[in-house]
Amino acid sequence: MNMTPRLRKFVLITHITFSVGWLGAVAGFLALAIAGLTSHDAQRVRATYLAMELTAWFVILPLAFASLVTGIIQSLGTAWGLFRHYWVLAKLMLTVFATIVLLLKMKLIGYVAGVAAEKTLSGVDLRALRIELVVHAAGGLLVLLAITTLSVFKPWGMTAYGRRKGSQPDLSSRSSGDATFVREPVFATSTPRWVRVIGIHAIGLAVLFVILHITAGGLWHH
């Protein structure tokens, strides 16, 4: 699937807008989660958790799906491809993981908001669940920062699949009277060492969050 330059720019701008919006919304959600956990004002705590539920349903969740869909469209519509470069593949996996965790945590967010709406929460009420909201919001923000880092530095070069595709001629683009093959553009695979270091650390932190999340059973609670 090839997009025109104008359409490609439109999809790119849309994807960046949704992705940055998602990151900002999660940062705001984290601030609310911390405020709800630490505040001693009953009305503020109640308002905080109600706002968190609204933010999750009507801001974070739509932005997550929009970022995922536009990212896939952009990859399939450009020479980057979806499976040709390691950084694109890593972005896809992290985005899918973050979206799945978000979906699984919507029930927890709704439960805490429902309890907060019905009664006044003291400092010890639902404390473990409220801490969990802070931890997962912080972890989600970390994953999104890792995704942003990948988008900027584009480390690691091409996958084996990408190298094979780059070396194959595009028969559909050859005219009947022309024996010259038009090949897919092959991107340079050499990456500066400092870029690789930053990328590896960013992904390492994100992977650490994934491991801690799974080993703690967070995916299967609530």
Note the pLDDT of residue 178: 41
CA distances from 151 to 87, 181, 182 (A): 8, 31, 27
β-strand partners of 40: none
Chain centroid to CA 211: 17
**Cα–Cα distance, 222 to 212 (Å, whole number):** 17
The answer to whether 202 and 149 are in contact (CB under 8 A) is yes
Note the pLDDT of residue 166: 72
Strands (E), 20-116: none
Q: CA triplet 2, 153, 21: central angle to 5 degrees? A: 75
Note the pLDDT of residue 106: 97
Question: For residue 187, how many other CB atoms are within 10 A of its CB?
Answer: 14
Q: Can you read off the two tokens belonging to residue 129?
A: 């669940």
Q: What is the CB-side half-sphere exposure of residue 209 using CA atoms within 13 A? A: 21
- Please report, in tens digits, the pLDDT of each residue of the chain (222 residues total): 678 889 999 999 999 999 999 999 999 999 999 999 999 999 999 999 999 999 999 999 999 999 999 999 999 988 888 899 999 999 999 999 999 999 999 999 999 999 999 998 888 899 999 999 999 999 999 999 999 999 999 998 898 888 887 766 443 444 434 433 334 344 444 445 555 555 555 566 656 655 655 555 444 344
Question: Would you say how long the chain is, in residues?
Answer: 222
Non-local (6+) Cβ contacts of 91 within 8 A are 71, 147, 150, 151
**Cα–Cα distance, 12 to 78 (Å, whole number):** 10
The answer to whether 112 and 131 are in contact (CB under 8 A) is no
**Cα–Cα distance, 96 to 113 (Å, whole number):** 26
